[in-house]
Amino acid sequence: MKLIFKSVFVFSILMTLGCQNANKDFTIAQTYEEPQDPSPSTDENWVALPNGLQASVTSTDIRFIRSEIPKIEQQNTWSGTAWKGERTSAQVVLWSKDSLTEVNTKFSEFKSDSGVTLPSDIAKINFVKYVITDEYAEGCGYRKPEDYAASLAADPLDPVSSYAIKAQQTRPIWITIDVPADAKAETYNSTFTIDIKGQDTKTMDFSIRVIDKVLPLASDWKFHLDLWQNPYAVARYHDVEPWSEAHFELLKPIMKRLADVGQKVITVSLNKRPWGGQTYDQFEAMIEWRKKADGTWTYDYTIFDNWVQMMMDLGVKNQISCYSMVPWGNEFYYFDEAEDKEVKIKAAPGTEAYNDLWIPFLEQFKAHLEQKGWNTITRIAMDERGPAEMKAMLQLLNAHAPEFGVSFADNHKSYKLYPDELKDMSVAFGDPVDEEDLVVRRANGYISTFYVSCADDFPNTFTFSAPAEGTFIGWYTMAADFDGFLRWSYNSWTENPLQDSRFITWPAGDTYIVYPDNRSSIRFERLREGIQDAEKIRILREELLDRKLLDELHHLDLVIAQFNITSKSKNLEAMLNDAKNTLNILAEKLN
């Protein structure tokens, strides 16, 4: 993989544990230097700490502050419960008044009392890094950085097992444990070792109880996840030619991460800048539009075909959402051979210019999709467009390509205006859909989801959002009877995403939830956790109903219903922990 050494990054070389025998063999690993803290705490009494490394198991609900001493009760044991096939997370936090140049970590194999073992590599170690964030304030709108309080947020996950701990800093470690789908239902124990050069080794006991219940592969999850992808950000960040072989090789791991959390939708830009210039890396057309001198049209689908096929090969194959027949500003681009240049036109739905542009495209696009076998899963996608524009667009679409249907991030209750066309509808959080409409849509095979945006201070996935809010999203989905969740920004990175998550017009972190070089985040892992919980709820509901355990089903529904809220509860973290425990109790009862 090509590494671009940008001026804002300084890469430091660290030592990573290479084997586990007495003669330690080290290999070189790379990480990156964090940004300076824009608002460090100055009243911490670091010198009062004992010498050496301090360490503790802690809650995944905490975002630690780099310049502050953790205010927690130290503990060195962790226990969790998981289904087969489930990922669960743990957090350990390190801090020291002294610099520690070499801190190595590792897990032993996981072993049950009966002698069954699971390999140590089911646990993945990530040192948590810090990125500049800001505050919600008024939410949406242009932001001058100096007008908003800036700080550091613990969020990017760096997949290294060794790190240099600087003096008077707090450093979390995020651990993910992937329970094999074929694991035997037992309790497994492992030792997490922290080896500090020149100091005594620290150990922590990890125990995971595996329930005899299987979470299916993510590709089989029913949760309709739609996080919009931005392949152009990957090309810019890594300084490679868009859609070159190098670009595709960089795209595959980060998009595989998305597929592995159950993503159902491939994001396609039919034309250039479907959302205007709202991202640092603008979307180009994935289809080349060319108007010949005689007035006829030709279209090159090479990029479209390669992008869609790559995503399908990775496991994202339910839907292709094509943006947009109603772009922001109604601006369209194509190459005009008569003028020998790219031209931009403004053409509102319902006008002659609009019809002249879209009718020939739809006819040829239909034929191409039929040839590829993608015609039944393709949707013409729109984002928060007004009723007048939507109505005019739908008249044209219904006349020339009614089989496509529409995917729509809807803030106008459009499902009431044209219920049969919106095959995939996502409404703004807190804007309820009538239950009878949800029932009808589900019976017709239509998708109904919700989305959050800069207008929502809760729940959200900003870099300053409480980690539990990501998990809450899955529970709210089930409580409000939606089919899934939409977020416009999987990886629309800022200029320097590993350093600064702030952007021009939205609260920090609004534009992306994963980081370059396929780094995950606390936000993404907690969102995944909620999606897993939603799948568990679905499975338990079906089994409880099939076995006529109606009292237990009613109890489960009451637990879920408490998450049908639109403002944050002070007890959200406790609510989630209690509700998760209910899922595990019911799962064991079914066994």
**pLDDT attached to residue 559:** 98
DSSP states of 284-318 as a string? PPSSEEEE-TTS-EEEE-HHHHHHHHHHHHHT--S
pLDDT band at 387 (very low <50, low <70, confident <90, very high): confident
Structure token pair of residue 324 = 């947009």
Q: Alpha-carbon torsion 437, 404, 226, 85, what sign?
A: positive
Q: Could you say which DSSP state residue 539 is in?
A: H
CB 39 within 8 A of CB 150: yes
What's the CA gap between 100 and 174, in Å, rounded? 19
**Number of neighbours of residue 316 by Cβ within 10 angstroms:** 24
129 pLDDT exceeds 70?
Answer: yes
Sequential DSSP letters for 226-289: EEPP-HHHHHHHHT--TTSHHHHHHHHHHHHHHHTTTB-EEEEESSS-EEEE-SSSPPPPSSEE
> In the block, which residue shows the tokens 């030792």?
191
Which range (4-8, 174-178, 235-239, 355-359) has the least confidence?
Answer: 4-8
User: Which pLDDT score, from 0 to 100, does residue 11 have?
Assistant: 33
Q: Which of 135-139, 413-417, 420-424, 541-545 has the lowest mean pLDDT?
A: 413-417
Residue carrying structure tokens 């409404």: 427
Cα separation, 12 vs 314, in Å, equals 32
Mean pLDDT of the chain: 93
pLDDT of res. 109: 98
Element of type H or E holding 54: strand 54-58
Long-range contacts of 337-343 (CB under 8 A, 24+ apart): 337/290, 337/291, 337/292, 337/293, 338/291, 338/292, 338/293
What pLDDT, in 10s, does the model give residues 219-261? 999 999 999 999 999 999 999 999 999 999 999 999 999 999 9
Angle between helices 522-546 and 572-590 (to 10 degrees): 40
Give the pLDDT confidence of 46-91 residue by residue, as tens digits: 999 999 999 999 999 999 999 999 999 999 999 999 999 999 999 9
Q: Is the pLDDT of residue 305 over 70?
A: yes
DSSP code of 38? S
Return the pLDDT at 2: 32
Give the range among 10-19, 178-187, 238-247, 534-543 with minimum mean pLDDT.
Answer: 10-19
* pLDDT tens digits, 325-382: 999 889 999 999 999 999 999 999 999 999 999 999 999 999 999 999 999 999 999 8
Q: Is the pLDDT of residue 414 over 60?
A: yes
Q: Which residues contact 412 (CB under 8 A, 6 or more apart)?
A: 384, 386, 387, 390
- Find, among 351, 357, 355, the residue nearest to 334 by Cα: 357
What are the angstrom distances between the C-alpha of 173 and each of 126, 128, 130?
6, 5, 12
pLDDT band at 9; cut points 50, 70, 90: very low
For residue 397, give the nearest of 437, 365, 440, 443 by alpha carbon. 365
User: ∠ at Cα 207 (203, 210), nearest 5°?
Assistant: 155
For the record, the structure tokens of 478 come out as 């089930």
Preceding peptide of 349 cis, ω within 30° = no
Share of the chain above pLDDT 70, in %: 95
- Cα separation, 172 vs 164, whole angstroms: 12
In this model, does residue 294 exceed pLDDT 60?
yes
The answer to whether the beta carbons of residues 129 and 148 sit under 8 Å apart is no
Give the pLDDT score at 329: 87
Question: Per-residue confidence at 388, pLDDT binned at 50, 70, 90?
Answer: confident
Task: Provide the pLDDT for residue 565.
Answer: 97
Q: Could you give the 3-state DSSP secondary structure of residue 58?
A: strand
- Summarize pLDDT for 485-501 with one digit per residue, the tens: 999 999 999 999 999 99
> Considering the chain, what percentage of its residues have pLDDT values greater than 90?
88
Helix (H, G, I), strand (E, B) or coil at 320: strand
Q: Which three-class secondary structure state does DSSP give residue 577?
A: helix
Each residue of 512-543: pLDDT tens digit? 999 999 999 999 999 999 999 999 999 999 99
Which two three-digit tokens encode residue 85? 């096939």
Sorted by sequence, the CB contacts under 8 Å of residue 203 that are 6+ apart come out as 76, 191, 192, 193, 194
